[in-house]
Structure 1
Amino acid sequence: MNASRLALLFFFFALATTLTGCDAIAGIFKAGMYTAVIGIFIVVALLFFIVNKMRGPRS
């Protein structure tokens, strides 16, 4: 096992032993919501940038 996989396994073991089931699930969903919001913001900003580049320079 490489070091990163061992660290990940230790992290999940620590989570499993320190958090109750509901707290763990709530943390996963909260992280998912924040990740989705940030991802949507990045995609919209990228699309806005691409559309502005395709329009060309404004005179």
Structure 2
Amino acid sequence: MKKWSLYSIVTFSLLTLTSCEAVGTIFKAGMWWGIFLVCVIVVILLLIFSRGKNS
């Protein structure tokens, strides 16, 4: 069932968006995902280094 919903979303996107809009949307989502991952990695590193100083 999940495959059908994924296929229908992709098909709907391909039919409604032009290629430039689709690429722009993908890169916009990728940019925010990348910013989120960088923030998570920085927080993890800060936690690791702060625990190392307390020991």
Q: CA deviation at 1:53?
A: 1.0
How many residues are aligned here? 55
Dislocated runs of 4+, deviation >2 Å:
none
Q: CA deviation at 1:29?
A: 0.4
**Equivalence for 2:41:** 43
Q: More helix per residue: 1 or 2?
A: 2
Tell me, which stretches of 5 or more residues in structure 1 are unaligned? none
TM-score, normalised via structure 2 length: 0.92
Identity %, equivalent residues: 27
Q: How does 1:1-59 map to 2 (within 5 A)?
A: 3-56=1-54
CA distance in 2, matches of 1:48, 1:19: 41
Q: CA RMSD in A?
A: 1.0
* Higher Rg of the two aligned structures: 1
